[in-house]
Amino acid sequence: MVVKEAVVGVSARHAHLSQEDLEKLFGEGYELEPLRDLSYKGVFAAKETVSIKTEKGVMENIRVLGPVRKQTQIELARTDCFKLGIKPPVRESGKLADSAPVTLIGPKGEIELPEGAIIAARHIHIGLDTLEEWGKESGDTVKVRVGGERGVVFDNVVLRGAGQGIHTELHLDTDEANAALLNTGDKVEVILEG
């Protein structure tokens, strides 16, 4: 059994907005204001937040991440989804066909999106150089082992290769991190089968 290492990044619920939706929610010509850089290259937490509205209630303070994307995508933990009474599918980022409809509220407007809400599929951001060193291809899956009193093995963790020389980072949502008592910055074992 070949074991490698990855660093954990925990993602709380958040929103990626298209420029068009950003302007509908925050006003014409609006631009996101970066609050702090995230570990993943070029991505930042913005000053802006939005609310999600469902029949069951409103969830406020959903952090917007920048820069803007081609299509608006809302990433929620399943705990959030029960609270909101919605059932988004588990999906890789960007694969939004048949994802859940969602209504967003901003300071200047409200939009009803026919799709865009997902529960993010856990994945590892990895450089193409490291991927080659591991003998894997982007899209392959691995297992991740976590020790400790809430030790678990996560199955079906997708490797997402891009760039060179970036550090190898396991992205989990808050349910997954809390189930395993993990925090951002913790180290975990990646198990390469065979």
Torsion on CA atoms 173, 149, 2, 169, rounded to nearest 10: 30
Exactly one of 7, 38, 152, 192 binds its own copies (CB under 8 A); which one?
152
How many Å apart are CA 189 and CA 137, to the nearest integer? 18
Based on the shown chain and the rule CB under 8 A, indicate whether residue 96 belongs to the binding site for its own copies.
no
Please tell me whether residue 149 binds its own copies under the rule CB under 8 A: yes
Question: What's the rounded Cα separation, in Å, for the pair 178 and 56?
Answer: 25
Place of tokens 């891009």: 162
Residue 150 binds to its own copies (criterion: CB under 8 A): yes
Does 181 bind its own copies (CB under 8 A)? Our answer is yes
Given 63, 69, 78, 160, the residue binding its own copies (CB under 8 A): 78
Could you give the count of Cα atoms lying within 13 Å of 35 in the half-sphere of its Cβ?
9
Question: According to CB under 8 A, which residues from 106 to 125 bind its own copies?
Answer: 121-122
Q: Rounded to an integer, what distance in angstroms lies between the CA atom of residue 70 and that of residue 157? A: 25
Q: Among 127, 178, 184, 191, which residue interacts with its own copies (rule: CB under 8 A)?
A: 178
Contacts with its own copies, residue ranges (CB under 8 A) = 77-79, 82, 90, 121-122, 149-156, 174-176, 178-181
